[in-house]
A = this chain, B = another copy of it.
Amino acid sequence: MTTPKNDKNPRTTGRPTLNEVARRAGVSPITASRALRGIPSVAEELAQRVREAASELGYVANPAARALASARSQTVAVVVPSLGNQLFVETLEAIHAVMRPRGLEVLIGNSHYSRDEEEDLIRNYLAYQPRGLLLTGFERTESARRMLESSGIPCVYMMDLDSGAGLHCVGFSQIRAGAAAAEHLISRGRRRMAFVGAQLDQRTLLRGEGFRRALQQAGLYDPALELLTPRPSSVGLGCELFAQLMASHPQIDAIFFGNDDLAHGALLEAMRRGVKIPEQVAVIGFNDLPASSFTVPRLSSIRTPREAIGRRAAELLLALMAGQPIAEPVQDIGFELMAREST
């Protein structure tokens, strides 16, 4: 009794098919197909019969057959660079919440911040003929770009806007967000401000760029006060980088961390070393993770609209998939500076 189904034919699925539903409802298979897809040219009475037959048999359409016959799947693919922090998870949740009620399956790919991995994922997903794609940022290989273009599949780019000319994108300006952090620190009277970034993905670099420009404009920019590392962002790394920065540049009076994880680590390390936050050094993070309003001291941060980006990007993609005219191809959701105890 390994397999309860007793089909002799290994090519069949053993599950009820549209034909059986149609026979039970006393209609042709095409009518059944139309009824279950909600195509309005079927009389309501027949449709009702078909729906009943389907539910009695426990019929669920075979997506492979459907995709093969119609040359389009009920699938949307999303590629994010990481699942390791809340950021993209919240965005994914929002995408799911929009797509699933419409019967669209969401394929999730994790590129681990690697262009090559992303290219592989895109190649792979395109084979599934997804109805649409949601990608993160604009940084990708040339051949990925070509595949996307020649596929003709609608695509929405999430998170950044800064170089999204001609594309459909939903996000906020990383550069302006970085600048906002700088302006906030300047408004608090700080003069020797450092930027600490990890991972060094495009968006982190753009935040740093915005921060730098704002400092330059204020005549406060010091290139020695940038600490960048390709290592992935984490609380532990934040401890380490804070210690390093305090050792090499003890005179700094503020730090902008490209990610809240790092800032959390810095707050902990500061506590261990007796560095007073914000009296001696002000600290501001980025993303405003849920924990940031509970740290000691409570962390100032740039709140990013992760849920809204997912939702709006999904809705934009739906409109593109439906061939609707797009009023706003570039949607700026903005960001919000959360000033708390740490600055």
Contact with B along A1-31 (1 / 0, CB 8 A): 0111100001111110000000000000000
Confirm or deny: A249 has a beta carbon within 8 angstroms of a beta carbon on chain B: no
Confirm or deny: A235 has a beta carbon within 8 angstroms of a beta carbon on chain B: yes
User: Which B residues lie within 8 Å of A108 (CB)?
Assistant: 108
Closest to A121 in B: B100
Surface stretch bound by B, among A32-40, A125-133, A155-163, A174-182: A125-133
The distance from the CB of A115 to the nearest CB of chain B, in whole angstroms, is 17
With contacts A268-B295, A268-B296 taken as known, whether A3 is within 8 angstroms of B60 at the C-beta atoms is no
Determine if A64 and B60 form an interchain contact, defined as CB atoms under 8 angstroms apart.
no
Give the copy number.
2
**Once the chains are docked, how many angstroms separate the CA of A128 from the CA of B264?**
42
User: Which B residues lie within 8 Å of A62 (CB)?
Assistant: 68, 127, 129
Confirm or deny: A322 has a beta carbon within 8 angstroms of a beta carbon on chain B: no
Determine if B12 and A71 form an interchain contact, defined as CB atoms under 8 angstroms apart.
yes
The distance from the CB of A30 to the nearest CB of chain B, in whole angstroms, is 15
Determine if A96 and B73 form an interchain contact, defined as CB atoms under 8 angstroms apart.
no
Confirm or deny: A199 has a beta carbon within 8 angstroms of a beta carbon on chain B: no
Determine if A150 and B60 form an interchain contact, defined as CB atoms under 8 angstroms apart.
no
User: Which B residues lie within 8 Å of A291 (CB)?
Assistant: 234-236, 261, 264-265
Determine if A71 and B11 form an interchain contact, defined as CB atoms under 8 angstroms apart.
yes
Surface stretch bound by B, among A85-93, A186-194, A205-213, A305-313: A85-93
Taking a contact as CB atoms closer than 8 A, the residue among B64, B83, B126 that contacts A73 in the complex is B64
User: Which B residues lie within 8 Å of A70 (CB)?
Assistant: 11
With contacts A107-B107, A291-B264 taken as known, whether A5 is within 8 angstroms of B150 at the C-beta atoms is yes
Would you list 29 pairs from A and B whose C-beta atoms are within 8 A, ordered by A residue?
A10-B71, A15-B127, A60-B123, A60-B124, A61-B127, A62-B68, A62-B127, A62-B129, A63-B127, A63-B128, A64-B64, A64-B65, A64-B66, A64-B67, A64-B68, A64-B129, A65-B68, A68-B68, A89-B89, A93-B110, A105-B124, A108-B108, A234-B291, A236-B290, A236-B294, A261-B291, A265-B291, A268-B295, A269-B294
Interface on A for B, CB 8 Å cutoff? 2-5, 10-15, 60-71, 73, 83-84, 86, 89, 92-93, 96, 105, 107-108, 110, 123-124, 126-129, 149-150, 152, 234-236, 239, 261, 264-265, 268-269, 271-272, 290-291, 293-296
